[in-house]
Amino acid sequence: MLSSFQGKLARNGDERKPVICIEGNIASGKTTCLEFFSKTSDIEVLTEPVAKWRNVRGHNPLALMYQDPQRWGITLQTYVQLTMLDIHLSATSAPFRMMERSIFSAKYIFVENLFKSGKMPEVDYAVLSEWFDWITSNVSIPVDLIVYLQTSPQVCHERLKQRCREEEKVIPLEYLESIHQLYEDWLIKRTSFPLPAPVLVIPADHDLQKMLHQYEENRDKILAASQV
């Protein structure tokens, strides 16, 4: 249930818990990072609802988007926007919540990439932007810290091939380079879109063992920074 809080719709009856969003390119290691933190009892981990994007009432909008972005980009991104909003508004039992990406990166990175690369008609971009602006003006979507897993597109391409998700076999290196550039403009150069929260950058090209060590080292910093 939603109620009104400071003029915006907000989740009812929930004590406000710190929200940490893990951001990064496709196959940068976000899910692996979340798996690490899910072992901590005071953190509730919410992964991206990719299963829903691959199967909505028997349809696969993720596969359709990669096959024909011009036609299906708006279909996928409308559903991504809805499912991410649902996650932002879901109840939390643990003291901290850690989510994979956000409604903000769906718009600022993926919608923007489709539009900028000429793969989304202007009218589709306008409709998605109207929806996004309405949601963010009328619904309270608190984010307290963004953790950016900063990778090179080449490393992501290697990890993507290794993961071998069927829909993603068509993704070329150039696609990951565009997503990387948009992330850098948003979270590092800070020249494109507003930041919903402070950003902690974790270099993430390293092997798994070193990454897990870095996560352990950063655990207290992440939890403290999200509590402001």
Ligand X SMILES: Nc1ncnc2c1ncn2[C@@H]1O[C@H](COP(=O)(O)OP(=O)(O)O)[C@@H](O)[C@H]1O
Mark the binding-site residues for ATP, compressed into ranges: 24-32, 159-163
Instruction: Map residue 148 onto helix, strand or coil.
Output: strand
- Let me know if 100 is a catalytic residue: yes
**Residue from 22, 46, 106, 176 binding ligand LAUPNLSC (CB under 6 A):** 106
Element (H, E) at 43: strand 43-46
**Using CA atoms, how far apart are residues 203 and 205, in angstroms rounded to an integer?**
6
Tell me, what DSSP letter sits at residue 55? -
User: Minimum distance between the CB of residue 95 and ligand LAUPNLSC, rounded to whole angstroms?
Assistant: 25
Partner whose footprint covers residue 179, from ligand X, ligand LAUPNLSC, none (CB < 5 to 8 Å by kind): none
Write the secondary structure of 66-95 as one string of H (helix), E (strand) and C (coil): HHCHHHHHHHHHHHHHHHHHHHHCCCCCCC
Check 100, 112, 122, 217 and give the catalytic one. 100
Tell me, what DSSP letter sits at residue 59? B
- Contact code string over 149-178 relative to ligand LAUPNLSC, x by CB under 6 A: -------------------x----------
Partner whose footprint covers residue 50, from ligand LAUPNLSC, ligand X, none (CB < 5 to 8 Å by kind): ligand LAUPNLSC
| Token pair listed for 20 | 């940490």
**Using CA atoms, how far apart are residues 80 and 190, in angstroms rounded to an integer?**
24
Q: Which is nearer to ligand LAUPNLSC, 10 or 75 (CB)?
A: 75
Site membership for ligand X, residue 61 (CB under 6 A)? no
Site membership for ligand X, residue 159 (CB under 6 A)? yes
Scanning the structure block, which residue is given the tokens 């996928």? 76
Q: Which residues are CB-contacts of 224 (< 8 A; sequence separation ≥ 6)?
A: none
**Using CA atoms, how far apart are residues 95 and 23, in angstroms rounded to an integer?**
21
User: Minimum distance between the CB of residue 213 and ligand X, rounded to whole angstroms?
Assistant: 11
CA distance readout (Å), 175 to 113, 182, 228? 9, 11, 36
Phi-psi region of 6 (alpha: psi -120 to 50; beta: other; left: phi over 0): left
Site membership for ligand X, residue 28 (CB under 6 A)? yes
Site membership for ligand X, residue 42 (CB under 6 A)? no
Among the candidate windows 140-148, 168-176, 187-195, 205-213, which touches ligand X by CB under 6 A? 205-213
**Residue from 17, 32, 89, 119 binding ligand X (CB under 6 A):** 32
Site membership for ligand X, residue 163 (CB under 6 A)? yes
Site residues (vs ligand LAUPNLSC, CB under 6 A): 26-27, 30, 48, 50, 62, 65, 76-77, 80, 106, 110, 168
Please identify every residue annotated as catalytic.
Answer: 100
